[in-house]
Structure 1
Amino acid sequence: MVGFLGKAYSLYLVYESLIFQAFRLSLSCNNSALFSTFLISIIATQ
């Protein structure tokens, strides 16, 4: 059980950093369409 929680938490950290990077990228490029497509693809793979 603890191992499962650890895996889930590390997966959450990876997703959080990915979303944060995509958010920064969308801010710098000012390309909200690309960012929303990226978010939708992440949500769809859940």
Structure 2
Amino acid sequence: FFSSGETTPFELEFTVGSETDYTQILASDGISPIKWRQPGDEDEVE
């Protein structure tokens, strides 16, 4: 993920337990800091 202070762009989607309604997403565009999007976040992408 990390080299020379940069982050490889990624989006990692996961659930906690079997609750698929509560999908968590860790994402980065490679420039901005890593964001943790939780259910109900304004910028959540479906």
TM-score (norm 1): 0.27
Question: Larger helix proportion, structure 1 or 2?
Answer: 1
Question: Larger strand proportion, structure 1 or 2?
Answer: 2
Structure with larger Rg: 1
Considering Cα pairs closer than 8 Å and 6+ residues apart, tell me whether 1 or 2 has the greater RCO.
Answer: 2
TM-score (norm 2): 0.27
